[in-house]
Structure 1
């Protein structure tokens, strides 16, 4: 909704006009000392900028020389330096164009930013930077922000980033009275002051450029060996070697330039190693030492030598394969197996098995499932510790059928602990509380459950005859439970003809009955 303006009296119009005239007079009354001070600051900024530009030029020239000498090493950082130069020059030149435009706006076509005559001109900066439709203040602000974002990506030091961002900020302080950046910087600004602000921006650009260039230089070895400590190292693939296998080791100098090829001497004899890789066939067992020295030169041509020494051990092929629960393997059953090789990490060991499958379940842990009874299963252990497969041994196990389980009544003792009752005296109350029977191999080493398919109970009749009653699968039938209730104390009966099937899928009739005496 439009705001309705109040009518202004002729007297109020006159007061307003006088106020405007007074403000203009105050603005024009800038002391010559202050305006001349901007010239002094301008000269100081010019010297600072020129010094930074000279330092930057020296670094660019150093980059050019290094690029010609070693493009493989320098190319990445050289290209980044060229990008920094391009973006820095672009913003620097934009500021120079704006300085010239302000000087010409103040002094005419012959205006010179270095020698502004009408220093106090308050309209020159307004026209160049803020004039509607043609003011270039927003163009400058966006150029500063693009440059700042690009240049900050070149450095990772937080303090350095904060310093560069502060010098190239386009934020308006809280005292900006709601103005945008270009208004805050250039509105009603004397021509001399506006030019000085742009000179400061040019100085900030060259300093930011310098900081980034120094950072890029640190990423290459401009002086060939820019370290304060050098050490030779032997890096073996393994310090424990199997007889007949190869001992492999990389011989390097710490912080060495990978694009330079140092000289390597073993036992005072120079050797030619591809990528510093040393190999020798180990034909004897025992402890050995690889020693010698590595030699390179610095930028001045001085020789730098570092000695190296590395011990290693050669052992006979060996491995350990143990069945976790037994001394043989059972057909059709998941036999837990542990496999290890002295001096070899578990993740560098693999194994295969004949007569069945061998499945890894974790580091050094396997499940062996032999298939044929009576035929040995052979496990072959392989080590890849030195980069290629090496057989560490073969181990044969006899394969047999799982033994028959023992039938039992599953119940609980007085404390509520699970109990497998396999025969003997049993209280009538406990007998009436059980539901059925089970079967398992439970010999203190193995504990393998079987599923009961059927069973029978044998009772003695009144005439001494045997009465057979079939169970209901693995559970007591209603007829069997009714007979339990009628049994007198000290009467005996048997659980027999138990048919069970194991994890190997084989069905068997158990020969061992359960004798129960009612108490």
Structure 2
């Protein structure tokens, strides 16, 4: 009897110990669930913050957000799947809050095992783990901002290969971890798996932002920039200035830009492209501000600089806008200026000012010489006089070429085409777009007398002679006379003729 009572006492002690262990698992599960809730809120807050960063700097943080979305999607999907398993097996418990009654393994064993062999549900569970593991590892290894050790940890934590027990016996991962365990222990293991998912997600998200911040702070993003005390120095002066470090960020784009009253500027590789009129000669200011959005605030960075328009000259700059010579018979456009001089005086035969900014035209039609000299003078802002001169060659307009219906030289044409065609003259490859007006020409049909024609089309006599012409015979358009549009007094060189072979 004493021995029997002793055995009962020992059994009661074992029963009490078992209940304490079950309660410990339950309490651990509660703490893990609470921790997972906090991790979820933390990760959600990170994604919200990253979303705000994308709104502030889309070029910089947009790619990070896309990578974070991939990790979050994989984590959310797997976490929801594990939660569905937990919800399914907890139904077998009489009271989900009484952990001491959750000592049976039946719920998960029935779901995952039949006669010790994995079920279809078990296969799905392993497949979901593999999908999460491989998806997250692949995403992490493609992101340079995240340490590769994080991917290695994921591979280790979510490894489902066979494992060895402490006796060295190899066992199936699913059987080893879930078969025969009390319900509360399996719930805790599944919750721990969710905690590992949350921890992995948190590490990756934190590493993404930390990696971008490290990249931003890297010395490779800085360049040495020389900042002179002024942007123009005269000959004989000393150069003075500073060297500063400037950070170049291709993804950085201000919320707003304002420079000298203008607010529309192109941003290229994080650099604002300035493009506005330089203004008159002298010192000019650049003033404005850059605005960056940071959270709910706008950070304003002032812009203050200056530049000089045109440095001190040592010679005049005189150039023909279209050529290095000037032509008789046309108004040659000229630009004449002296760098650093607001206004200049230019003198030469036929030279005339046509507006500001050193614009002139030169008409040398009546100049008989072969060269013309242009003299230029002016005063610097400090009162010093400067002057210079330059010679230009004078040439006649090149010899024009006669045309029939826009064609020149020896051409083929039908009688009807020639009858209606206009006779013209052109200056091919000439720098000026000059219109020539044919005033008269001579029309010669093979075997017939030459017929004079006024204007640029065949008259009745010429048309009659054309009708008598035979197929294959030649018609000559010779002695073409033309005048310059706007300068009829200029005598052009002899115009080349056109030979037409009749095709019918």
TM-score (norm 2): 0.42
TM-score (norm 1): 0.41
